[in-house]
Every structure is written in structure tokens, then in C-alpha cells.
Amino acid sequence: MLKRDFLKNGLLTMVGALVSPALLASAHEEKLLREARAMPMADGPFSLPALPYAFNALEPHIDAKTMEIHHDAHHKTYVSKLNEAVAGKPEEKLSLAQLLASASKQPDAIRNNAGGHWNHSFFWLLLAPKGGGQPTGALAAAINKDFGSYEKFQEEFTKAATGRFGSGWAWLIHDKQAGKLAITSTPNQDNPLMDLPGIQRGTPLLGLDVWEHAYYLKYQNKRPDYVKAFWNVINWAEVNRRFDEARKG
């Protein structure tokens, strides 16, 4: 019996050594996706927006399976848990923007899930199948003015994204009080619209999700490669539009 158990355990160890971390991660994410799809959306004021393009539309830069799991599992879960967190409370009548603006007064379940819902809804619109290139018009001029050049801006944004310890986001924001653009980063699902200590507040124009679930299936632990790929799918028309609105608002 001992010999048989020894041989069995040894075989399992050998098989485990042959399975790549990427395959193990993929199996875990597939399980997460199945569970999320089977979970009914909690009733409430918030709903999951449709992805504005096909899952494979951003390939080869962001793969279809990552997009599918990111939207259908992770984002769906944030929305469902947010509905659960506000159910029967005064916050149920607040808009998502109001929840973010009062994040310092909210319990973690509302703060984290409201942030996750807003951040992802924003993120999907910043990506485009024929994205990339560079901004134009007033935004291009502001980037040159506030960062010195597009290349300097790109360098600073990349540093914010790769330098964020653990999970979080990198942002390009319009700081209305200062009258200029700024680059910042936030932990977890916090964002620059929240009234939280330590956060540089402003209107988000561009954001990059650097949680591992946003890139691990394709890039594993190589976050810099994912950040580099991001520049090829940015929807600059949407960023330009948001900048024009922020200046007028």
C-alpha cells in the first residue's frame, strides 16, 4: 500500500511539473468563467454593459479568452456584488458617480465593487480593434505642453503602469484645478473620481487595468509586455472626446 501510494504521488508530481503555469491559470479562469455565467445577476440598479466589439477583436495584442473572462466573469461579478451591497440601503438610489464621489464613506463592498464596475465600463471604451497611433488636436497639444512630447508621456504612463505594486490601474487624468494633464495610479479598483486620501483626483481620460487577470493568460508575469501591447489598441478618438468634455465641464 505504501509503495503504491508512493508511486502514485510521484507520478502526480511528475505530471504537475510538466503542466505549464499558463495551462493551470487557463484552467482556473475557465472554471471562474463557467461559475460566473451560471451565477444569476443580482437584481439592482446596475447592469453589465455589452462589450462593444468581439472578444477576438483586439488580437494579437489582447487575446480573445482573456477578454471573454475579463468581461463575462470579472466585470459581471463586480456588478452583481455591487447590486447585492446596495440592496435595501440608501445607496441603492445613488448613481455610480455618486458612489465614487462618496467612496470614503462607503463600506468596502460598495467602494470596491463600484470602482470595479466603473473602471471596467470605462476601460472597454478605451480599446478599439483598429486603435493605436497617437492622439490628435487639442489633446496632442496638451500632452506636448504638459509632458514635453508624446514619447515622454508614453514613458511616464508606462512607468506608472509597470510600477504599480500588486493590482491596480494607471491613469491619464485632466486636473481641472491645475489646468493640466497628469499621470497617476491607484491600487485595487480605486480611481481618481473617489474622495479617498492619497488619490490624485481628476477626470480620467485613459486608464489601464494592471490586475493580473487582465493579461496573465497571454503574458504570464510579463506585465511590461502587456503594457507595450496596450499602445496598439488605444481608442484615441474616445480619449480625445473625453478630454474635450473635461475641458468644457
Determine if residue 74 is labeled as part of a ligand binding site. no
Give start and end residues of each alpha helix (H) in the chain. 2-18, 21-38, 64-69, 76-86, 96-101, 108-125, 137-147, 150-163, 216-219, 223-230, 236-248
C-alpha to C-alpha distance for 188 and 196, rounded to whole angstroms: 13
173 contacts 140 by C-beta, under 8 angstroms: no
Angle 236-242-211 (CA atoms, 0-180°, nearest 5)?
70
Residue whose C-alpha cell reads 512630447 in the numeric block: 149
Q: Tell me: is residue 71 an annotated ligand-binding position.
A: no
Q: Which residues contribute to the annotated binding site for Mn(2+)?
A: 70, 120, 209, 213
Residues flagged as binding site: 70, 120, 209, 213
